[in-house]
Structure 1
Amino acid sequence: MKTQFWERSKEINPTLNNLLFKFMRRRVLLGLSKIHTETSPLIHQAWWLLRKRLLPLLCLVSFLAVVQLNSFAPVVAQLPPQPRQEIRGVWLSGNDFSVFRNRSQVQAAMSQLRQLNFNTVYPVVWNDGYTQYPSAVMQKKGVPFFFKGVDGQDVIADIITQARRQGLLAIPWFEFGFMVPLTSELASQHPNWLTQKGDGTQTSISAAGEVAWLNPFHPEVQNFIRELVMEVITKYDADGVQFDDHTSLPVDFGYDKYTIGLYTQETGNPPPSNPQAQAWIKWRADKITAFMVDLQQTVKARKPNAIFSVSPNYYDFAYKLQLQDWLNWVRLGIVDELVMQVYRNDLESFIAQITRPEILETQQVIPTGIGIMAGLRNRPVSLPQIQSQVQASQQRGLGIGFFYYESLWNVAPEPAAQRQEAFAALFPNSALRDISQNTPRQPTFNTISLPLYPKPSLGQRVRGYFLEMAIANGQPRRILLDTGSAGLRVPKEFLGNAPIQRTGQNIKEVLGDGTILEGELVYANVRFGLIPAAEPIPIQIVTSRQCTPQKPNCSAKSGAPFSGIVGVNYSEKSLLYNPLRKLPGNLSNGFIVTGNGGSNKNGSLILGLTAENQVGFKMASWNQQPEINGVPGKRWDSRLSKVCLTLAGSSAKNSCNSAMIADTGTINGLTEFKSASTAGKLKPGVLGSANAVKVAINGIFDYSLVPGKRDGFNRWNLAISPQAEQTIFVNPGIAFFDKYDVLFDQVNGRQGFRSRR
């Protein structure tokens, strides 16, 4: 077996002596001898801890820590308002369960940890393809359970109960993640759940020996892991859940039939033969991230204060070789604590890892800890090495997590009493933790760019920009981004299995082309790319589409599947409102649409306006509208006024009394005249090349087009509508975004334009 050590890092409260213990794990359960990972130093979870102010003196120290933190110029919108709690944790691995099967020994162990000022335990609940507790989920899968205490008790329940009595947090640890033995019942009964390498190989060599990998992209696998996690959260009074380096996938995997089909469907090409191709790595890593976002939302819906803990390897290794983009998880706001595994003997190498940039960044937003190896059965770790690594971590404001319990002092080169005395000196003061302070936090992005795809998941639209969204934990769908309307409208097939709030209220929306959408108003969780909305948003579940009598040739006539619409205009009439208003933090303050120039490449939706990404835009103001109950934030009339129009062959010769909207939802350009006299000799319908169009706002943009016959590129229509509100109304359609980046500022009521060529 290959030997590999992994590292981790902990949270920042620079002047509070944060400590965190964590033990690295690896057990070979079920008859595979307890050789733990002697022959292969494991990559395992580190638990980072937050530290609580206890006395006036510590209050003063905390104040100084905040002053220091502010000097780091954090990349996050804000630091958590509550004082940080210090994590001093230890993993209870499979090797430890010879001890923890006995109730009296559990009680003694928890009491001893409390006396030595530890504050967190991480009992393993999932490894080797089995649960360490009686699981109804596994029973339904036909997988037997045979691990019990000496008195037939539920060992996990006993550990959690005894830990809580001692004031310790108990955070169950899903050690194996997507990893299972190929010979396990689960792998044998569900061969379609396994993924493979390009050559068809189904296994890899890990610290646990030869293992197979459940396909993290398969919905049945995702549901299985989700059910296990929610079973633990529901069954036990646990303080959270922890996932380590195996909630990932080795980079060589992903060449199974299901994943190849999914990748081909989404990208139009089969996966590259090189498993380390950057786009292929990112696609798979993003899929795992999306699952973790949904999993965190599911956990928080059941237990809002639960700690969502992650214990990975150092980032460069985790992302490139295990597709585990944990730094993005931190930035997305789904991780409550991080303990980076750093199982190294050399102190210089150890320090190099705990001072990496991603650790410094993470320290500024969440408690961050370092996983330290306390020893293995056949590879003991000396007390001086442990002490030096703990002290190096403490000096940098990092907590500690030890792997694993027995190697703290029961299986060690020094006498137990000497080891215990040393741990007492490392943690001289009590640092109890309280999950009531673990409140939801916002992503640390001030801005982020999401791809806009040229094709939808369903339907046959000629051109459009489609944003990938997941609704109620459903599969990601590419939905039409419409800057000309407001509200999210999707078919019921787009909903996942997460709870939704039904209203029973049927609503109707008439689109510009005469399509009538009808369906119930509901509220559900939504994810924009990888960004979850801060709370459920209103959605129209469309169950009926038809055309108005005035426009019988609307888009509903063809019978093509409805690919959904996400309307992001700020001129809401009522519910539904622009769902981007419910993005967390700075991401809700506005957005920028960057087109693709009419190519098959992706455009971009840039969420969150900053001073940097507004450079080069020329601004035009909107008019503020009365607020509407139920619509958050300011409401604006996003039709620009005093727009100058010149339309060859008409009476519009640099007429600067026009109104205009920048609308990605409209394929072709349109000029609407209230009076036929303004049209001159022009007739309603499609304009020809003789009818050159020029639309401009002096000093802001100057757009011209020669009408042609290509939908979405140069086709331009004329309409005469005596009932129209505006004397002259212009919608240049999606082709306008081929030439201009367009900014929507919902805070200040402005629209910006930046020439792209």
Structure 2
Amino acid sequence: MHQGWWLLRKRLLPLLFLISFFAVLLLNSFAPAVAQLPAQTRQEIRGVWLSGNDFGVFRNRSQVQAAMSQLRQLNFNTVYPVVWNDGYTHYPSAIAQKIGIPFFFKGTDGQDVIADIITQARRQGLLAIPWFEFGFMVPLTSELASQHPDWLTQKQDGTQTSISAAGEVAWLNPFHPEVQKFIRELVMEVIAQYDADGVQFDDHMSLPVDFGYDKYTISLYTQETGNPPPPNPQAQAWIKWRADKITTFMVDLYQTVKARKPNAIFSVSPNYYDFAYKLQLQDWLNWVRLGIVDELVMQVYRNDLESFIGQITRPEILETQQIIPTGIGIMAGLRNRPVSIAQIQSQVRAAQQRGLGIGFFYYESLWDIAPEPAEQRQSAFAALFPNSALRDISENTPRQPTFNTISLPLYPKPSLGQRVRGYFLEVAIANGQPKRILLDTGTAGLRVPQEFLGNAPIRRTGQNIKEVLSDGTVLEGELVYTNVRFGLIPVAEPVPVQIVTSRQCTAQKPNCSAKSGVPFSGIIGVNYFEKTLPYNPLRKLPGNLSNGFIAIGNGGSNKNGSLILGLTADNQAGFKMASWTQQSEINGVPGKRWDSRLSKVCLTIAGSSAKNACNGRMITDTATINGLTEFKSAATAGKLKPGVLRSANALKVAINGIFDYSLTPGTRDGFNRWNLSISPQVELPIFVNPGIAFFDKYDVLFDPVNGRQGFRSRR
């Protein structure tokens, strides 16, 4: 947003529109199901950016005071002073100076200009939201780029710069932890140093789609996906991976800001969505839906009114304004390209007619550098905003995501270990790096090794707990409480987690998984048959996402399955339901507790005495590789001996009218192996666990609200 911006944008506009047009044709739009929220009365945005071009004015205390007074008289309510621009902070920053970035933006009296602007704005009842204009963008010649070349990313050909509105610039790598730490510390420094009303990030909190081919990012992508980045920078999966990484950082940044000041406004000012996502990897609509944006001001710098209206009536704007205060960024003029007041008036009125607020770029062009006299311009602005509309951040409380439902991938391989088959969910614990953890629909509770934890606060209980798995593995470790994120969705509050520090086998099953020496990849138990703490962490997902889930297998392929969070009328279609039995509640476990072992299960095994006996119990379990039948009595097994069934022992498991599952036993782990055991000490006469292969044939639904389980045939 510098003086040459408009001329550059004018020259590039036809090319940008052409690129965007073909990008829209090539890529599917991101459109998950979202909650339909009722329209609410929202605080109207009437803001103006105080850019680097304005600092000639704002270095003078008396001019700051006059400017804030004038804005208040004209019924503006928000100013966005720039604090991060051209690789420098516009305020005295200990963080920046620590890494060798000099500071020279003092006022004419040696004062802190940002402190002065914020103080004078507040005296006039205006919100002051510091603006991190450059985001991840930085001049290649800056001290930051020179001293930290490993922080920069690059294009596939090794090029480190791109042409932007600010000229030729380099890009900090948004995936690098040191870059993320630096930006996070700058943001928190501003929040703490000035008790700022919020922070704002614009279209540069992003990365041009051609970037991301630096060594660090290539290694990270290869580690997580098993393949190097594709040579086509616009490959859909490559775009999504990078955009999701930026989103993950923004989720973390939002939570960090809110932990310090819960009512701070987390503001975003991007380009229109198709351009932002597909060409800048900025998935801001997802940010809105995730509940991490408190206000949005979309930049719509157009001369033509018809084009302007087309942008402000886009579906993403209509959706966003139902959720948060939403405004439109309007070009008030540049030094080398002034904008007439007539154009400004027509655009403001078009936005106001649609219930949208306004943000003007930038202060001096409101009336100081304009084609009309200042008095005429100020009179026109007074007519546009005839009534006062002050804003109050006390009502700006943290929001919940607006998703009704969302689908997360279930990966066929973990982050660690060599398990043959399984479904693994990506989980980040205590702000740690996402890890693929075994999804277990047969147990409850999140259990991970110490090294999976990040640096977020952990509440320790000092309570050592023990969990015995079905294969005889004993997990021991402390119960703690901390935040957890599934994909991009954080839990609403800290959940109990077992930090596993010891694994061993029971005497009865000495060949358990602990004996193999394979590193523990973690288990996330999502059953609702909790016996004690920890409980199923999905119970603490926000909003509708906590009301149940659907596990969809991958059909025995190497492709991903899906975990659909949040049950809706649409995604429950086609399921046949079986009821669970309600259990007594456990102190400390939210919601209802259910015995998810299904009753009246019919079992037939060729060569056994089990001939369509419908008195069995069954559990569907993604963590069990092979199917299992457990008999209390040897008589029920007939001539069969404990061990692996043979192909002659064809079996069928069914619940009348719900599902009918048949299998010919074989020798392939996870596909057709079936074990039989006889255990007189067990609780149930006949118990069946069909194992993970069951999920190749059926989608399985878990409904903890109504206490039922659903089955939908996939074949």
Query: Counterpart of 1:702?
Result: 660
Residue by residue over 1:629-673, the C-alpha shift from the partner in whole angstroms, topping out at 9 and shown as x without a partner, is: 111111110000110111222211111111000000111111111
Query: Counterpart of 1:684?
Result: 642
Large movers: runs of 4+ above 3 Å: 77-81
Distance in 2 separating the partners of 1:256 and 1:88: 41
Residue by residue over 1:497-524, the C-alpha shift from the partner in whole angstroms, topping out at 9 and shown as x without a partner, is: 1222222222211111111111111111
CA RMSD after TM alignment: 1.4
Match of 1:501 among 455, 459, 463: 459
Deviation (angstroms), 1:626: 0.8
Give the counterpart letter for 1:711 in structure 2.
D
Residue by residue over 1:706-755, the C-alpha shift from the partner in whole angstroms, topping out at 9 and shown as x without a partner, is: 11111111111111112211111100111100000000011100100000
Give the counterpart letter for 1:223 in structure 2.
K
Deviation (angstroms), 1:90: 0.6
Q: Does the CA-based 8 Å contact 1:305-1:439 persist in structure 2? A: yes
Q: How does 1:561-572 map to 2 (within 5 A)?
A: 561-572=519-530
Query: Counterpart of 2:37?
Result: 78
Q: How does 1:68-467 map to 2 (within 5 A)?
A: 75-79=34-38, 83-467=41-425
Give the counterpart letter for 1:322 in structure 2.
Q
Residue by residue over 1:185-226, the C-alpha shift from the partner in whole angstroms, topping out at 9 and shown as x without a partner, is: 111111111111111111000000000011111122111111
2:600 matches 1:642:
yes
Distance in 1 separating the partners of 2:94 and 2:201: 21
Distance in 2 separating the partners of 1:601 and 1:75: 26
Give the counterpart letter for 2:412 in structure 1.
P
Give the counterpart letter for 2:207 in structure 1.
L
Deviation (angstroms), 1:353: 0.6
CA gap of 1:42–1:629, structure 2 versus 1, over 3 A, is farther
Which has the larger displacement, 351-360 or 681-690?
681-690
Q: How does 1:635-674 map to 2 (within 5 A)?
A: 635-674=593-632
Q: Does the CA-based 8 Å contact 1:252-1:275 persist in structure 2? A: yes
Match of 1:751 among 696, 709, 714: 709
SS in 2 for 1:39: helix
Q: Does the CA-based 8 Å contact 1:547-1:557 persist in structure 2? A: yes
Q: Does the CA-based 8 Å contact 1:76-1:365 persist in structure 2? A: no
SS in 1 for 2:545: helix
Residue by residue over 1:675-717, the C-alpha shift from the partner in whole angstroms, topping out at 9 and shown as x without a partner, is: 1221222222222112212100001100111111111111111
Give the counterpart letter for 1:459 in structure 2.
G
Distance in 2 separating the partners of 1:441 and 1:727: 49
TM-score for both structures, normalised by structure 2 = 0.95
Match of 1:512 among 458, 467, 470: 470
Q: Does the CA-based 8 Å contact 2:46-2:77 persist in structure 1? A: yes
Query: Counterpart of 1:57?
Result: none
Q: Does the CA-based 8 Å contact 2:481-2:497 persist in structure 1? A: yes
Distance in 2 separating the partners of 1:352 and 1:565: 49
Q: How does 1:528-539 map to 2 (within 5 A)?
A: 528-539=486-497
Give the counterpart letter for 1:537 in structure 2.
V
Deviation (angstroms), 1:578: 0.8
Q: Which has the higher contact order (CA 8 A, sep 6+)?
A: 1
2:560 matches 1:602:
yes
Query: Counterpart of 2:28?
Result: none
Distance in 1 separating the partners of 2:164 and 2:95: 26
Distance in 2 separating the partners of 1:405 and 1:649: 86
Query: Counterpart of 2:5?
Result: 37
Deviation (angstroms), 1:40: 2.6
Deviation (angstroms), 1:496: 1.3
Deviation (angstroms), 1:41: 4.3
Deviation (angstroms), 1:601: 0.2
Q: Does the CA-based 8 Å contact 1:470-1:476 persist in structure 2? A: yes
Which has the larger displacement, 727-736 or 488-497?
488-497
* Unmatched segments (≥5 aa) in structure 2: 12-32
Give the counterpart letter for 1:641 in structure 2.
S
CA gap of 1:36–1:123, structure 2 versus 1, over 3 A, is farther
Distance in 1 separating the partners of 2:501 and 2:143: 43
Distance in 2 separating the partners of 1:728 and 1:38: 75
Query: Counterpart of 2:19?
Result: none
2:500 matches 1:542:
yes
Distance in 1 separating the partners of 2:301 and 2:196: 27
Distance in 2 separating the partners of 1:139 and 1:628: 53
TM-score for both structures, normalised by structure 1 = 0.90
Q: Does the CA-based 8 Å contact 2:449-2:522 persist in structure 1? A: yes
Deviation (angstroms), 1:77: 4.9
Q: Does the CA-based 8 Å contact 1:571-1:638 persist in structure 2? A: yes
Q: How does 1:1-20 map to 2 (within 5 A)?
A: none
* Unmatched segments (≥5 aa) in structure 1: 1-24, 27-34, 44-73
Distance in 2 separating the partners of 1:489 and 1:139: 42
SS in 2 for 1:40: helix
Deviation (angstroms), 1:307: 0.9
Deviation (angstroms), 1:549: 1.4
Distance in 2 separating the partners of 1:146 and 1:522: 47
Deviation (angstroms), 1:39: 3.2
Distance in 1 separating the partners of 2:104 and 2:453: 38
Deviation (angstroms), 1:358: 1.1
Distance in 1 separating the partners of 2:56 and 2:430: 42
Q: Does the CA-based 8 Å contact 1:77-1:445 persist in structure 2? A: no
Deviation (angstroms), 1:140: 2.0
Residue by residue over 1:385-416, the C-alpha shift from the partner in whole angstroms, topping out at 9 and shown as x without a partner, is: 00000000000100000001111111111111
Distance in 1 separating the partners of 2:455 and 2:67: 41
Residue by residue over 1:127-177, the C-alpha shift from the partner in whole angstroms, topping out at 9 and shown as x without a partner, is: 111111111211221222222112222111111111112111111111111
Distance in 2 separating the partners of 1:578 and 1:364: 32
Give the counterpart letter for 2:316 in structure 1.
E
CA gap of 1:118–1:42, structure 2 versus 1, over 3 A, is farther
Query: Counterpart of 1:490?
Result: 448
SS in 2 for 1:712: coil
Q: Percent of aligned pairs with the same residue?
A: 88
